[in-house]
Every structure is written in structure tokens, then in C-alpha cells.
Amino acid sequence: MKKNKYLQKLINKLVDLSLKEDRIIEGQVTKSIKILKSLPQAQAIDALSEYLRQLKRKEREHTLYIETAIPLTPEQIKKMKKIVEKKVKITKVLVNSNTGILGGFKIRIGDEIWDDSISGRIEKVKEVIQG
């Protein structure tokens, strides 16, 4: 999106209003979209794209993605969430089973990834051997 300071401030304000305690408020998102759709068409398209991009980024920052080789119990998921919440507030947890990681787990929040999987360890050893 081209740098239009007024439009960028409007989008930032609408994103902030669309979140409460890091959770997306659907009613406010609907209002924000109506406001952005009322802009001239070219601006509206850019503004809506930027608004949705920022909203998704904010959501990812508070979503815990857990990938394991075997399914986790609800208690294990709860424990992992509790540990991670010491660093960042979690509003959503997504769990995926992937036998390709062989064992252990991978955790992702936003752009941060913690890989404690067997396949990840093998990959690190492989990198060391290959120099």
C-alpha cells in the first residue's frame, strides 16, 4: 500500500478497535470493513487488504500452533499453553499431528518457532556434518 499517512492511521486505529484483550471482535470488524468500503474504490481495495493483513498478523501473534508426532491429550495441550503464556498471551491453540517429525514437538507463535522434534534434531546434526 502506498504511504498515505491518514489512511495508515485510520487502518491502525480500526485494527486496534477490532481487538479486545488480543481477541478479534467480529462486530467491530464488520463496522471497520464498512468504513473502509466507503472509501474511493482504489483506496478501499488497498485499505481492506492492509487491514486484513494486519488483523491476521495480530491473530498469529497470539495463536499457539503445536505439531506433534502423536495426538496430545487435553491436559498436555493445557500444560504447553500454560508454559508458553509465561511469555505471550495465547488466545487460540491449534494442534496438528504429523508423523513426519518422528517424535517430540514443534511450537510456533507468530514468527517464533521452537523445534524440539526428532526430525529437527536430525536436521541439525546433518547441517553440522555437512559443515
Rg of the chain over Cα atoms, rounded to whole angstroms, equals: 20
Whole-number pLDDT of residue 22: 79
In this structure, are residues 10 and 47 in contact, taking their beta carbons and an 8 Å threshold?
Answer: yes
Q: How many CA atoms, within 13 angstroms, populate the side-chain half-sphere of residue 87?
A: 12
For 77, residues 6+ apart whose C-beta sits below 8 A from its C-beta are 66, 93, 95
pLDDT in tens, 88-108: 899 899 999 999 999 999 999
Give the residue from 105, 109, 99, 98 showing the smallest Cα distance to 121.
105
**Predicted TM-score (pTM) of this structure:** 0.73
Cell numbers linked to 120 = 529437527
Q: Where are the domains of the chain?
A: 5-60, 62-130
